[in-house]
C-alpha cells in the first residue's frame, strides 16, 4: 500500500471511530486510533501515516509527533471534505 492509499484508509478509520463535528470535520483521539485492533492491522506505521496526512493538510493535530501513552488524549481532526466545484454542479444540472 502506498502513502496515498494509507491516507485514504486513515480517513475511513477516522470516519468510523471519530465524532462528526458541526463544521463537517471528524475528531478522534490518538489513543482511540492507536489502540483500535482494525487500525493496528491496517497501518504498519500509524504515526508516519498521520504525519503524511498532516503534511497534506488532511488532518491536524498539535505538535509534530504523537507517542502512545503520552499523547493518547490528543485530538486529531480530519478536515471536512471540500464542496464540489460550483461549475461542475451547474454543468451537471443543465445536462
List the domains of the chain with CATH numbers: 3-94 (1.10.10.1540)
pLDDT value, residue 30: 95
* Helix, coil or strand: residue 5: helix
Strands ordered across the beta sheet of 26-29: 19-20, 26-29, 75-78, 59-60
Distances in Å between the alpha carbon of 75 and those of 59, 91, 92? 10, 39, 38
Cβ–Cβ < 8 Å for 77, 60: yes
Q: 6: which 3 cell numbers?
A: 494509507
Mean pLDDT score across all residues of the chain: 88
- For the question of whether the overall pTM of this predicted structure is more than 0.75, the answer is yes
Q: How confident is the model at residue 42 (pLDDT cuts 50, 70, 90)?
A: confident
Q: What is the mean pLDDT of residues 64-90?
A: 82
Q: 78 pairs with which residues across the strands?
A: 26, 59
Amino acid at each position: 500500500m502506498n502513502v496515498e492509499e494509507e491516507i485514504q484508509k486513515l480517513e475511513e478509520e477516522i470516519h468510523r471511530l471519530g465524532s462528526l463535528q458541526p463544521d463537517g470535520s471528524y475528531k478522534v483521539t490518538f489513543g482511540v486510533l492507536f489502540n483500535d485492533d482494525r487500525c493496528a492491522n491496517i497501518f504498519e506505521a500509524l504515526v508516519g501515516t498521520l504525519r503524511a496526512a498532516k503534511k497534506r493538510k488532511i488532518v491536524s493535530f498539535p505538535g509534530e509527533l504523537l507517542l502512545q501513552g503520552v499523547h493518547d488524549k490528543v485530538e486529531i481532526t480530519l478536515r471536512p471534505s471540500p464542496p464540489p466545484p460550483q461549475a461542475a454542479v451547474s454543468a451537471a444540472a443543465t445536462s
